[in-house]
Amino acid sequence: MKHKTFNIAIDGPAGAGKSTIAKLAAAKLSFVYVDTGAMYRAIALYFLRSGVKPEAEEEISRRIDGAGITIRYEDGTQKVLLNGEDVSGQIRTEEVGNMASAVSVYPAVRAHLLKLQRSLAASADVIMDGRDIGTCILPDADVKIFLTASPAVRAMRRYRELTEKGIVCNLQEIEQDIIERDARDMNRETAPLKQAEDALLLDSSGMTVSQVVDAILKAARDRRAETGEDAG
């Protein structure tokens, strides 16, 4: 009989360090890392390319099936394909991020990705990060983490990341953007960003990356001990 997969859900606001942490923890556990934000970003790119306005809910809902999203792994790294085209590099801009936050509000967009996300979790041991993984996508996840950090800390991290890439940016604008994105992600009607009741809250503001990773590995170990599964 096929053994049930072990799933770790990590939710939290933009810039809390979810992807950095999830990638490291996945490598330590030999789990697959699934970045669901990349899927929303690929959909955002699809509509940006055809000049659709973020507020055009009716048109976006009608045309969502035109955005075929698939995932591929190359050397353990997730690649997101939009109608067969690898767009992993093109989705990492602020413009795409803001459009993703806007279109992810629409129920038709969320429904479009639900099946793909659930089937990935059913087919392998995964660490999946996003906004609604513990609350909606994988309500029975073995471990749920809500990873957050203060807006000021998140803005500073993002500022450093962009500056290191040689991108000129403004710290105050980044912080303002983060606050707006949080408000939109938390206040939408469908699957808003919120901590699942059974999620472990980790505030990474004053923690190092390895402290956060260790906390997640410990939560996974504890859960396995509880359920009597072999530690992996």
Residues that bind ligand DC (CB under 6 A): 14, 36-37, 40-41, 97, 100-101, 104, 130-132, 181, 185
Q: For ligand DC, which is the closer residue by CB, 37 or 215?
A: 37
Minimum CB distance to ligand DC, residue 131 (Å) = 4
Minimum CB distance to ligand DC, residue 188 (Å) = 8
Q: For ligand DC, which is the closer residue by CB, 31 or 40?
A: 40
Q: For ligand DC, which is the closer residue by CB, 194 or 224?
A: 194
Contact in structure between 194 and 141 (CB atoms under 8 Å)? no
Backbone angles phi, psi at 167, to 5 degrees: -90, 125
User: Look-up: residue for tokens 């955002």?
Assistant: 44
Minimum CB distance to ligand DC, residue 92 (Å) = 8
Minimum CB distance to ligand DC, residue 228 (Å) = 30
Q: How far apart are the first and last CA of the chain?
A: 19
Backbone angles phi, psi at 31, to 5 degrees: -100, 165
User: How many CB atoms neighbour CB 22 within 10 A?
Assistant: 26
| Residue 158 vs residues 68, 144, 150: alpha-carbon distances, Å | 29, 24, 12
Q: What single DSSP character describes residue 72?
A: E
Minimum CB distance to ligand DC, residue 85 (Å) = 18
Q: For ligand DC, which is the closer residue by CB, 116 or 221?
A: 116
Q: For ligand DC, which is the closer residue by CB, 130 or 151?
A: 130
In 3D space, the residue among 20, 29, 12, 31 whose CA is nearest the CA of residue 200 turns out to be 12
